[in-house]
Amino acid sequence: MFDCYKMMKKLMFNFSPENAHTIAEFFFKHGANYTPFVLSFLAERFFIHDKRLEQTLFDRTFHNPVGLGAGFDKNATMIKMLTALGFGHIEYGTMTPEPQNGNAKPRCFRFPEQESIQNAMGFNNDGMHKIAKRLESLYPFATPLVANIGKNKTTSAENALSDYEKLIKRFKDLSDFLVINISSPNTPGLRDLQNEQFIKELFVMAKELTCKPVLLKIAPDLEIKEALELCSCALENGAQGIVATNTTIDYSLLPNAKDFGGISGKVLCEKSFNMFEALAKEFFGKTTLISVGGIDSADEAYRRLKAGASLIQIYSAFIFKGPSLNREINLGILERMNRDGFTHISELIGSDRR
């Protein structure tokens, strides 16, 4: 299977990253709709279902801790196929109230040697009404679904709260939890919303709108002290978890990086982990923590779980390493649990904090 993906990747990497993604989306979407037997075939090979990895969070069962980060399935068109490929949860989006095309092209660049991606997509998506309609025939789903929501580019900071209000109302019954995205670097002024006043208003409002958990996703480029203060503010006002981290604008990490957009993938690994570690030292045991950023192996996944992550997410590594990655990570976690004497994932999570 690995050799097959190596050949496929070589072919797909002849296309621009965005065109390659469009091709993949076409096959993932239509493959699930018109050849449903393929889903069973793939799930038998890729989906790891072992009671030792199973946990209940947000009143849902997560069969394994490895999820798909936001940005890959922006429009919720690939959920069935992605689940068959082994993801224990899917974060779809980012969605905005109104459809938008995103930023000017080219806006996505791959760096194969560094196994990293730089993107300035700008929340290109079909808009909340069309995406929600798609989900109405799917939700509730076999594995947990997560809605990642953000404001439209044309919405001013003064009116941003209204965008999030619309999105929470629309997706609260079409997801198992929601993630607030105010940390993408690709919408002008969005990261300026990472301030205590806006976060307080946002989570107070969210608590009034839904009983579903709403989490905050933060940038890796904040000062640690500021990140701790913002997360504390969110949690004090109703947030039920933290997702760390989004992409980075630290262009020094990547040789020949563009001077715009956000970087994800292997070069983000240590920066993301350092931020997560700081947050886990403060908040582990007080809220649910999800780690994302540069995770590409069982070793790295295991490190994040030991540090305090209840769930981890991958994205760029899925592109560079292929569909067997979920299986490899989950089996690798089980091997390391056996080695270290953990009988259940609950014993592993946060073991470095105890």
104-114 pLDDT, tens digit each: 999 999 999 99
Catalytic site residue from 184, 264, 272, 310: 184
Is pTM, for the whole model, over 0.95?
Answer: yes
Residue 61 has pLDDT above 90, yes or no: yes
Residue 349 has pLDDT above 70, yes or no: yes
Q: How far, in Å, are 87, 90, 263, 264 from residue 78 at the CA level?
A: 12, 10, 23, 21
Give me the architecture of the 2-353 domain, per CATH.
Answer: Alpha-Beta Barrel (3.20)
> Do 67 and 88 contact (CB within 8 A), yes or no?
yes
> Do 120 and 260 contact (CB within 8 A), yes or no?
yes
Closest-CA residue to 199 (of 235, 241, 162): 235
Q: Given this model, what pLDDT does residue 192 score?
A: 92
Whose structure tokens read 């997801």? 175
pLDDT band at 33 (very low <50, low <70, confident <90, very high): confident
For residue 186, what are its two tokens? Answer: 């690709």
DSSP state of 89: E
299-326 pLDDT, tens digit each: 999 999 999 999 999 999 999 999 999 9
pLDDT band at 35 (very low <50, low <70, confident <90, very high): confident
> Do 314 and 282 contact (CB within 8 A), yes or no?
no
Closest-CA residue to 164 (of 76, 91, 96): 96
Whose structure tokens read 């930023």? 103
Report the distance separating Cα 274 and Cα 31, nearest Å. Answer: 39
Residue 291 annotated in active site: no
Cβ-based neighbours of 131, under 8 Å, separated by 6 or more: 75, 76, 92, 93, 95, 125
pLDDT band at 4 (very low <50, low <70, confident <90, very high): confident
Report the distance separating Cα 110 and Cα 119, nearest Å. Answer: 9
For residue 302, what are its two tokens? Answer: 């295991």
Q: What is the mean pLDDT of residues 20-43?
A: 89
Q: Give, for 289, the enclosing helix (H) or strand (E).
A: strand 288-292
Report the distance separating Cα 314 and Cα 297, nearest Å. Answer: 10
Q: What are the residue ranges spanned by the domains of the chain? A: 2-353
Residue 2 has pLDDT above 80, yes or no: no
Average pLDDT of the residues of the chain? 96
Taking the CA atoms of 345, 74, 218 and 242 in sequence, report the sign of the dihedral they define: negative
